[in-house]
Structure 1
Amino acid sequence: MTHQARQHPRRRLIAPTRTRVAEGDRRTTPFALGVSRPTTRGGKVEPVRTCIGTRARAPRSALVRVVARNGRLVVDPTATLPGRGAWLTPSIDAFESAVKRKAFRRALRLDSEPDVDELRAHLTRITTSRPIATTEQAERHMDN
């Protein structure tokens, strides 16, 4: 029988501040495997948020913040409105998934289901009005 080093009784319950991540470990994240974190123009590391529709992690700039105001969902483009916010990938598929899973109510801690019509209209507008990225895509678009 070996003696364990004496340590504070609660210390065993607290996760160590630095842990080695072994290959195949459940705690392995893309960032722990050497994938670089998203950065801003100034070289600062950009915050990563989780989409409530797809549960995928993405840089904050790639998602849209949504807050509840008077029982309806409102887009917060500057991410400065007060209150609890939820992050969503700006696509109709992610939106529909979040509605189906009732993720808005849960993420925003609401008592009842919010009115999602205004947010649906906003997402439809921004996904259909995006500029065509390349000339090849423009040519394909013109052929259809």
Structure 2
Amino acid sequence: MEGETVDDGSAPSKREPIRRCLATGARRPREELIRFVLGPDATPVPDLAAKLPGRGMWLSADAGSIKTALDRKLFAKAARKAVTPVPDLAARVEHLLVRRCVELLSLARRAGEAVCGFEKVRAALSSGSVNGDGGVLIQASDGAADGRGKLSALTRGDIPVVALLTADEIGEAFGRDASVHAVVMPGGLGRAFLLEAGRLKGFRGTDPM
């Protein structure tokens, strides 16, 4: 059902990469949207990995689209049945996206593909080993502007910068209380992190990426 706002729950196909947002009608690659299915209690359940069984309903990855879907009862219209509203649905999706970002960063750290701390990040960026093919500079949204600016300058605009996680959230991925700066080396984990960060951006304001 290419381009539709719902799907029948079958396995994804390479021929069906596009879905349409229930709220806005925008057609986007499925990895940029959020899939929802109805749970046993008829509440919309976020399916970030797009793997849960059931009829899928797609929304743009931002709080406004979720609010519109709830206010206009679009889940019920798409499912063609009564749906139990979830007032804090956008907050739940944001929390799940943060968890996915932290988990991916932790995986990259355990695989030896990520480091944190100002000096280690500066050394990685200065070495030329980080590039735009999955490499990413991560800066805490609540970190000092001076340090963030110095490291961002080293990217020369060629490496994505994500400033959506807090210092505590970045620190959690590295097994420490807090960390303001981190970098992920080029590769699949970096690309996966960027996809999730792209979706998280719709819930955490306008910090640069």
TM-score between the two structures when normalised by the length of structure 1: 0.53
Q: Which has the higher contact order (CA 8 A, sep 6+)?
A: 2
- 1:40-76 per-position Cα deviation (integer Å, ceiling 9, x unaligned): xxxx666100011211110011011100111211111
Q: RMSD between aligned alpha carbons?
A: 3.3
More helix by share: 2
Matched residues in 2 for 1:78 and 1:55: separation? Answer: 21
Number of residue-to-residue matches in the alignment = 96
Name which of 63, 75, 98 aligns with 1:104: 75
Shift of 1:116: 1.8
Unmatched 5+ residue regions in structure 2?
1-13, 102-137, 142-147, 154-160, 164-205
Flag as ranges the 4+ runs of structure 1 deviating above 4 A: 126-134
Matched residues in 2 for 1:122 and 1:50: separation? Answer: 22
Q: 1:1-144 alignment to 2 at 5 Å?
A: 47-69=17-39, 70-110=41-81, 112-117=82-87, 119-125=89-95, 135=152
Letter in 2 for 1:102: K
Unmatched 5+ residue regions in structure 1?
1-43
Q: Rate the CA distance shift 1:118–1:97 in 2: closer, same or farther, 3 A.
A: closer
Shift of 1:125: 2.9
Is residue 18–residue 29 contact of structure 2 (8 Å, CA) maintained in 1? Answer: yes
Shift of 1:128: 7.6
Is residue 74–residue 118 contact of structure 1 (8 Å, CA) maintained in 2? Answer: no
Letter in 2 for 1:85: G
TM-score between the two structures when normalised by the length of structure 2: 0.38
Q: Rate the CA distance shift 1:80–1:125 in 2: closer, same or farther, 3 A.
A: closer
Is residue 68–residue 114 contact of structure 1 (8 Å, CA) maintained in 2? Answer: no
Is residue 22–residue 74 contact of structure 2 (8 Å, CA) maintained in 1? Answer: yes
Letter in 1 for 2:67: E
Is residue 51–residue 87 contact of structure 1 (8 Å, CA) maintained in 2? Answer: yes
